[in-house]
Amino acid sequence: MRVAIFGASGLLGTALMREWSGDAVVGYSSRDVDIRDAPAVRAIAQETEPEWIVLAAAYTDVDGCENNPDLAFTVNRDGAANVAEAAKKTGAKLLFLSSDYVFDGKKTSPYETNDARHPQSVYGRSKAEAEIKLLELMPESCILRTSWLFGVGGKCFPDTILKLAASRPTLDVVNDQRGCPTYTVDLARAIIRLCRESASGIVHVTNASECTWFELASAIVQQAGLRTTVRPVSSQQMARPAPRPAYSVLSPESLRHLRIEMPTWGDALQRYLRQRNG
């Protein structure tokens, strides 16, 4: 199988390039191609003739999106449409990485794939509009929603906590936002399976179990053997430019339907720490 990965140097893209074997995989970073450049995207698709395109390239700085909405929409929505158009013209299947931020966080039970989109931030709106556009262009594309991504090779929450905990006796972390941490290695392995099994439609992929950011930070500090005290605070006390969903747990039912089981985030965190220290 021939595969083209857009966003190959990002947090997820790095894991995909490392984990994917047995197929002809080519990765493109933002330095290789800007997905806002439709002719350049089309040229790459025509040159490589992939059977699958995995679109992991995005503007993922949530607060940055709030301050730069034009950039957020031109990359996350219009850039995604450019990739979909190129995939359609070359006959490739498309897997698009989306986000829990397409939901408003007002539910108290896990979000299903058919729950209504109601994004509260610019980033969330850009991803929601991308989903709608892609399903219009390529109804058989695979839209993969995930959340709270962490892994080796880029900026992520555990890496930030470990760096701060190394120099601070206390850390304040929000305890009123609940979701599902997702390890890039486990997500990459799920993506590989989804492509090989020609998945389509919307799929939710996260590590199993849920927690708050405070609970995740506490586990990171404990597993790393650090003495830092982690204190729970409210989102209001840690105000950010972009609103975050209070509850964005994604239901695993769509993944179970495809007979894919994900490890728990606690297990994933242990493996992340070993990888980071190795």
Catalytic residues: 123
Angle between helices 122-137 and 80-90 (to 10 degrees): 20
Distance from C-alpha of 263 to C-alpha of 189, rounded to nearest angstrom: 11
Distance from C-alpha of 152 to C-alpha of 206, rounded to nearest angstrom: 17
Distance from C-alpha of 99 to C-alpha of 144, rounded to nearest angstrom: 8
In this structure, the strands spanning 229-233 and 182-183 are unpaired
Provide the 8-state DSSP code for 8: T
Other beta carbons within 10 angstroms of residue 5's beta carbon come to 27
Distance from C-alpha of 195 to C-alpha of 190, rounded to nearest angstrom: 9
Is the separation of the CB atoms in 100 and 131 below 8 Å?
no
